[in-house]
Amino acid sequence: MQRPSKTAELVCAARATHTLQYDNPVYFDPLAVELCGRFWKLVAKYKPLTMLMNDVIMRKLVAIVPEIILRAKFCEDVFNSLVQNELRQLVVLGAGYDSFAYRDDFPTKVKVFEVDLEITQNEKRARLAKIHKDNLPHVTYVPLDLKEQSLEEGLESHGFDFSHKTLVSWFGVTYYIDRDIFLQSLKIFKRTLASGSAVIFDFLLPQEDIPDHWKPVEQRCANFVAKKGEPWSNRLNENELQYELERIGFSEPEILMPEVIEQKYVVGREDFVFPHIMCFCMATVT
């Protein structure tokens, strides 16, 4: 990749727009708009411009935006639960323009390791510098390409302590990497993380498991990200994922299918429909 991730930019804009324009946002992200590029910052702030973008340029992705919002909410909920039980470290894989660790109320006793391609991290830090949050002592940047260096080596070289209880946030990544890299990363988590640590991620359903009325949405999104140079390449169904996690050694992984996610977060909200394309998972190291 020769330039910062375009999909990371869109994800940040989605969180910013949701926070600024929804009367009752499912997920509140006060710093997202600060991490948007100049153009997307305008889109997030001005509803007429947002509507124009949704109708013209972003029409292929609008339906998947609730997944972006709810995975952030899911991560926040898991983090808040674990931080009450001696959580010491947070690893954000494919961090993009995630703003969670930069909030004023973030518990800085938890050390954060943000892992991403260096070119995206450099752009993020330039944007953070404008709000004086680019050198926070509890945040460590780990520039890493999993095709060139293992995650274990990358974290270890930046001061990660494998004996501490850790939450690994792995959203917006698993469907962009090869299956072998995905499984190898899970094996590393299971082998190296301290007991009580957890890995949370979203995953893309195979086309045959997607309801018929959602298949056109999935196809439009797949074509869009492929044209941006970041094609989807890894899909998993529930039984297959369950099998792989148990084979690796995770006990009783929690897999949240779309119906469960809807019931948990957005039941009764007609303005917020979760796309039946992706699912969430939490795997705990015991």
d(CA 79, CA 91): 11
d(CA 79, CA 167): 7
pLDDT < 50 positions in the chain? none
Strand partners of residue 166: 89
d(CA 10, CA 74): 19
**CA 154 to the chain's CA centroid:** 19
pLDDT digits (tens, 9 = 90+) for 140-160: 999 998 778 888 999 999 999
d(CA 47, CA 87): 39
d(CA 173, CA 190): 18
With CA atoms as reference, report the closest residue to 155 among 249, 106, 92. Answer: 92
pLDDT digits (tens, 9 = 90+) for 72-121: 999 999 999 999 989 999 999 999 999 999 999 999 999 999 999 999 99
| AA letter at 140 | T
pLDDT of 57: 65
Domain ranges for the chain: 64-284
Phi, psi of 240 (to 5 degrees): -65, -45
pLDDT of 209: 96
pLDDT of 118: 94
Structure tokens at 229: 């140079």
Regarding the domain with residue range 64-284, which homologous superfamily does it belong to in the CATH classification? Answer: Vaccinia Virus protein VP39 (3.40.50.150)
